[in-house]
Structure 1
């Protein structure tokens, strides 16, 4: 009997304590967050932020990741899972878009509105959004006021050259393609083949795409008589495209291109720049900073994209360059916005834009443009035309440019086959976009 009575008292006591606990949990003013299995409060848990950068490896990529690690250090509750896939970036992102499993934060490499727009959160409420530079604003906002990304710089891109090489051989900065070819012959002859006129890291493929993207504008768009309307409405005669791959092939056949073009990579181009073994580079200003890591004394100059057609003038390729956007369905959207805002600090914008050797994307930020300070001032009134592939080709054509460039130099396809491949893919992708 004593044991039964004691058991009954124990049950009553347990029920009383349970009811008291329930009553306490229903009182919002006195509630306490339950502990997880480790005994930590939810607020103590680390958030893992997936961040994917489209910036290639090198000095620029190192700066981008360094700032990410500084953010991580200042925000110990946020772990940054940072990756920069390089040449594989676009293909990885296509898979992620198809499955709607995007990184929390990602770079848009020129396609914030057209390709990634539907996946991006509106950042117009962020404090830095009011500081967008007027020149880049149209590329990263729309008529409703949506701000798609933080632009840390604004692309004003063209070829660059090694100043010492041109000075050594008494060559003026070329303004036309004919002058480029003349300069290339002089460099080859006067250096007895020791200096390459054009250095391209074709093994990475994207430098070949960059060459075509730069020169397609003077070949087809910037001159008074141009094919802009035909590219946009689908009526372009693709036999006219032959002259663009022919330009690259002429460089190779005349010995103006590095012999190892199909095995050389971007970093090999930077090394050739640093060592004065090449003159011209279709990369953009950022390669100068990469070269300085090998040779701090190397001097680079800006070579606006030379004109091709009579009566035309040189240009810059423009648009967005280094950006961060936030996935609109991110489970960590506030942490993602905090991450982006960290990059929007003036000192961080200046670091990124300085590494790219480009003007800042936000107002009031002074950028050290190094060797190119005077060049940017000299050419400040030159036309800035959107990158050819972004404006006139359907989504997916960049890979076609790159791959066909490799095949052309390897002798796998002819100039005419290059153009035919472009036509077929243009029509297929354009139809798919409708």
Structure 2
């Protein structure tokens, strides 16, 4: 018995020391050439998430695939969940378990600042465009994210329709309303002056986000300080929801505003059935999928107060930030730096029809390039909700806009609901 046990122990030790054959699919002994190769072949998996959708998201993913080819030891797990992105990120922030690399969608400093690694030591930082730099850096020198392109947004117009009815590009709210009346009357109702896909809710929020800056921020007399310190009198806000409701009542909005979607706006614009889109340059690119020959133009946000100047809304658009607690920070920074290459910046900016966020890359926004050049000196101010409203107010603007157009609330009640949520969210900020 003793001899048998001894033989079994010795045999077991030998088998344990030898390990299994390299091609058996099982583990190999440490220190062997096979083990070293297995370790070298082990890939790092980078989790990457973006809010960008559509063709621009496809461009981002294609660049990620090229990155993988050039860096075979790194696997990229790419995610573009669309409308659910913000809610997903809120859950991940609450659990402090974010993707290695993620899009900051306009909130790199205010919302995600405490979760982001400082990228100031990256080689591309010296090439940040001066116009976008303040949006992704702070006074202490921290760099929160790579801005691959930069938002410079305003309403768009169908150039053929304006030419057909002899209408100049409006520069004030008064001129915009006059243009809407002329288009509705001269077309016999066949052309919708302003098409909004209200069923998606966010296009309604886009209207308020654009116009709120004209009414309350960009003028010589503005409420920036009061909105920042919380003392803003929300009765002053009534005029904006009232404007929106009046547009609906006068027939300046599409009749199906509450059931139409964003895709319907793009289709109507492409088919010459809508004159204006309160969206941004991307509406034109979307419309070209239906009609490649559609002639669209970008215009600044109209001034609401006499004597004020037109403006653009801007800030971050397509960005990459690195989670400060990522276990793969070096690989994540390498991934971000890959997108900072001029050729990749050019691809992303072109897909969004926006100016690049890095110096030395030419604007290639197709037919809109001339508009960006024409309005290059127009002031770009941050989106109203990003700068002057607490986190969470975007949904409030959207939902109350839907309710008001449906007749469920009045403009005064819209403002009251804004104040209630403004105070609540400021308290929990």
The TM-score normalised by the length of structure 2 is 0.91
Aligned counterparts of 2:337 and 2:192: Cα–Cα separation in 1: 43
Following TM superposition, by how much is the alpha carbon of 1:108 offset from its aligned partner in structure 2, in angstroms? 0.7
Residue 42 of structure 2 corresponds to 45
Residue 24 of structure 1 corresponds to none
**What is the aligned residue count?**
420
Q: CA RMSD in A?
A: 2.5
Question: Given the superposition, is the C-alpha separation of residues 35 and 404 from structure 1 closer, same or farther in structure 2, using an over 3 Å criterion?
Answer: farther
Residue 174 of structure 2 corresponds to 178
Contact 1:175 1:314 in 2 (8 A): yes
Contact 1:59 1:290 in 2 (8 A): no
Aligned counterparts of 2:396 and 2:47: Cα–Cα separation in 1: 29
Aligned counterparts of 2:12 and 2:410: Cα–Cα separation in 1: 86
Consecutive unaligned residues of structure 2, counting only runs of 5 or more, are 20-29
Consecutive unaligned residues of structure 1, counting only runs of 5 or more, are 22-30
Aligned counterparts of 1:61 and 1:262: Cα–Cα separation in 2: 27
Q: Describe the superposition over 1:243-276 as per-residue Cα deviations: whole angstroms up to 9, x where unpaired.
A: 1111211121111111222222222222122111
Q: Describe the superposition over 1:317-360 as per-residue Cα deviations: whole angstroms up to 9, x where unpaired.
A: 12111101111112222222222122111111111111222111
Question: Given the superposition, is the C-alpha separation of residues 218 and 33 from structure 1 closer, same or farther in structure 2, using an over 3 Å criterion?
Answer: farther
Equivalent positions of 1:162-177 (< 5 A) are 162-177=158-173
Could you tell me which of 140, 143, 149 is aligned with 2:139? 143
Residue 206 of structure 1 corresponds to 202
Contact 2:136 2:145 in 1 (8 A): yes
Aligned counterparts of 1:95 and 1:49: Cα–Cα separation in 2: 19
Q: Secondary structure at the match of 1:41?
A: helix
In the alignment, structure 1 residue 92 sits paired with structure 2 residue 92: no
Equivalent positions of 1:224-373 (< 5 A) are 224-373=220-369
Contact 2:267 2:287 in 1 (8 A): yes
Following TM superposition, by how much is the alpha carbon of 1:125 offset from its aligned partner in structure 2, in angstroms? 2.0
In the alignment, structure 1 residue 374 sits paired with structure 2 residue 373: no
Q: Describe the superposition over 1:206-230 as per-residue Cα deviations: whole angstroms up to 9, x where unpaired.
A: 1111110100011111111111111
Question: Given the superposition, is the C-alpha separation of residues 35 and 318 from structure 1 closer, same or farther in structure 2, using an over 3 Å criterion?
Answer: same
Q: Describe the superposition over 1:9-52 as per-residue Cα deviations: whole angstroms up to 9, x where unpaired.
A: 8867977998999xxxxxxxxx727978xx97233233332221
Aligned counterparts of 1:52 and 1:13: Cα–Cα separation in 2: 52
Following TM superposition, by how much is the alpha carbon of 1:61 offset from its aligned partner in structure 2, in angstroms? 2.6
Q: Secondary structure at the match of 2:428?
A: helix
Aligned counterparts of 1:329 and 1:213: Cα–Cα separation in 2: 33
Aligned counterparts of 1:15 and 1:71: Cα–Cα separation in 2: 45
Aligned counterparts of 2:11 and 2:234: Cα–Cα separation in 1: 88
In the alignment, structure 1 residue 58 sits paired with structure 2 residue 83: no
